[in-house]
Amino acid sequence: MATGMSGQELPGKPPSLAAIERHARGVIERLPAAFRAHLGDVVLVVEEEADEEMLASVGLEHPLELTGVYHGRPVGEKSAFDSGVMPDRIHLYRQAILAEWCETGVRLDDLVAHVTIHEIGHHFGLSDDDMHALEDAVAD
């Protein structure tokens, strides 16, 4: 039987797009205030899987290889002269997250938090070590 994001057993039904989005938003809400203050304009999008164009843009071929992606310019590279650009976006891909969950046995809520924070880390231009520290800061 599958385990849900709250740790309870589910009757064989994987979490929906909405459930993964709720969890990702909960992760964002637990970020330190200094980080949350710079995420107001970032759009969170949860989709079933990455399309071919997205996969090609990151050099991947199969949609189950991409759990998330950040689109935008890191905070430190932004300029007051930027105008007419799309808002920064964080995409999470449900099917790839579920596949990794099944393959690794990592708790689903931990996996969603990891992917969400990794993409947020790109928004801030963080190193992998900084991303891991941020992940530890929001752990339940």
What was the pLDDT predicted at 83? 60
Rounded Cα gap, residues 114 and 116, in angstroms: 6
In-domain check, residue 109 = yes
pLDDT reported for residue 56: 94
Instruction: Identify whether the C-beta of residue 119 lies closer than 8 Å to the C-beta of residue 58.
Output: no
Q: What is the CATH number of the domain that holds 61?
A: 3.30.2010.20
**Does residue 118 sit within a domain?**
yes
Show pLDDT as tens, one digit a residue, over the chain (140 residues): 444 554 444 456 889 999 999 999 999 999 989 888 888 888 999 999 999 999 999 999 999 999 999 988 766 665 555 565 678 899 999 999 999 999 998 999 999 999 999 999 888 888 888 888 888 888 76
Q: What is the pTM of this model?
A: 0.82
5 falls within a domain: no
Structurally, how many domains does the chain consist of? 1
Structural domain contains residue 97? yes
59 in a domain, yes or no? yes
Is 115 inside a domain boundary? yes
| Residues of the domain holding 27 | 14-74+86-138
Q: What are phi and psi of 2, to 5 degrees?
A: -75, 155
Tell me if 79 is assigned to some domain: no
